[in-house]
Structure 1
């Protein structure tokens, strides 16, 4: 009993340090866009939690059997002590499960934030692409070498084409800024 109790009691400081690390990582999620290093830190912590779970599970099974009355005759009066060890192991196991869930949630939130940042970048690129496309289209049409385009003989044809490019792009800039794309 004393050996199992000593081993189980040493899990609590390990569990506390893992919880502190998780809290530190969770706080960092919203400070900046998650990076590869922060995602790796979550997975490293998840691995450490799983190692602890694999250490706790066999002890929990043994303590459960010993607490349940399946003890050698030498340990017959120690049922209450094994129940205490089993209770501690259950607390550790519950904390591990909660940490696993919190880690999974934190990883999901990190990926969601990365997707949101990518979406913002895509919107900005689309807006800039539209701003470049309109003048290119107008210049392409008026740059064709046809003889029978009535606008080519206008005195105001060139300034009108430039004005049209500026006006359309100005309107697009206004709309994109209003939508939050620029």
Structure 2
């Protein structure tokens, strides 16, 4: 569905125009057309392909969706794929993966947003509020869209880091080993979702500043460098989180091993105590007629007392060694 179709000239908004008039304004000097679509149908994409003369391969990628983040050149135009990572309001802890495809030429910008509820009206308002920058044309709009997408990653990674800190505190709580492992692996999955959105985009965006860059980005290279700096920072945070999660999993498994060792020691201590009882009972339970203790009046009491004393000494020793 069509969200906006606006023509700009010399950094200021000229008019909202219908799609059928796009080709007329593309020939105006110092003007460019900015079109925004949401969940575009194949028919809408075909219409935009005719109006902007888009490359067939780029349109095909946008039609199929679920693309890896990338920035590709097709002649004098750019095709950019950015992944939108958003929390699901009704399901805390889950992440929705959307996508925005941006077609950028010298005199047009076409953004196609898919599987995402959060739009880019704020980006348009920001650009219109900075006409001196909007004069750079479609290159600045591409930067503004990329910057908005990257800025949305920061709250996600802050949320993931907070959750990781909570799990780390719970690792040393008794009886939480299984739940901690499940939470850590679930968190690891969400971290990887963000990694798959950030790492390819970092590699692709690095081509938009320094050295040879597409002509529409020539005047805004420092802005793309700022985006790359943000992506580098996020990527480093993700790598640190992955390392921390791996360490937390190892610590949690170590705590499980320690817990099992404690149980083993307790069982061994009680087995030793009962072994003493069994040994004494076995000695006096032998069927020999000439055992002197069998005819003694206080032999039974002595045997019970000896067993109690021996078991008490063992209990005290194991208690002192913290086996019980």
Question: How far is 1:105 from its partner?
Answer: 2.0
- TM-superposed CA distance for 1:95, in Å, is 0.8
Aligned residue pairs: how many? Answer: 182
Rounded to whole Å, the distance in 1 between the matches of 2:300 and 2:174 is 48
1:55 equivalenced with 2:213 (yes/no): no
1:115-149 superposed Cα distances (whole Å, 9 cap, x missing partner): 22222111111111111111111111211212233
2:148, 2:225 → 1: CA distance? 14
Structure of larger gyration radius: 2
More helix by share: 1
Structure 2: runs of 5+ lacking an equivalent: 1-142
Secondary structure at 1:181 match in 2 = coil
* 2:295 aligned partner: 153
Q: Determine the structure 2 residue equivalent to 1:100.
A: 242
Q: Where is the strand percentage greater, Structure 1 or Structure 2?
A: 2
**Greater relative CO (CA pairs within 8 A, separation 6+):** 1
Matches of 1:70 and 1:28 in 2, distance apart? 51
Post-superposition offset of 1:53: 0.7
* Pair 1:73 & 2:215 matched: yes
Q: State the TM-score, normalizing by the size of structure 1.
A: 0.91
**Which 5+ residue runs of structure 1 have no aligned equivalent?**
none
Q: Provide the residue aligned with 1:5 in structure 2.
A: 147
Instruction: Measure the CA separation in 2 of the matches of 1:32 and 1:169.
Output: 30
Query: Is residue 114 from structure 1 mapped to residue 256 from structure 2 by the alignment?
Result: yes
Partner of 1:4: helix, strand, or coil? helix
For residues 20-51 of structure 1, give each alpha carbon's deviation from its aligned partner in whole angstroms, at most 9, with x where no partner exists.
11122122223434331221001110111111
Deviates more, 1:111-120 or 1:129-138: 111-120
Residue 135 of structure 1 corresponds to which residue in structure 2? Answer: 277
- Superposition deviation, residue 102 in structure 1: 1.6
Q: TM-score, structure 2 length as denominator?
A: 0.53
> Can you list the C-alpha shifts for 1:44-90, whole angstroms capped at 9, x where unaligned?
10111111111111100011122233422222222111111100000
> Which moves more between the two structures, 160-169 or 78-87?
160-169
Q: What's 2:311 paired with? A: 169
- Which residue does 2:187 correspond to in 1? 45
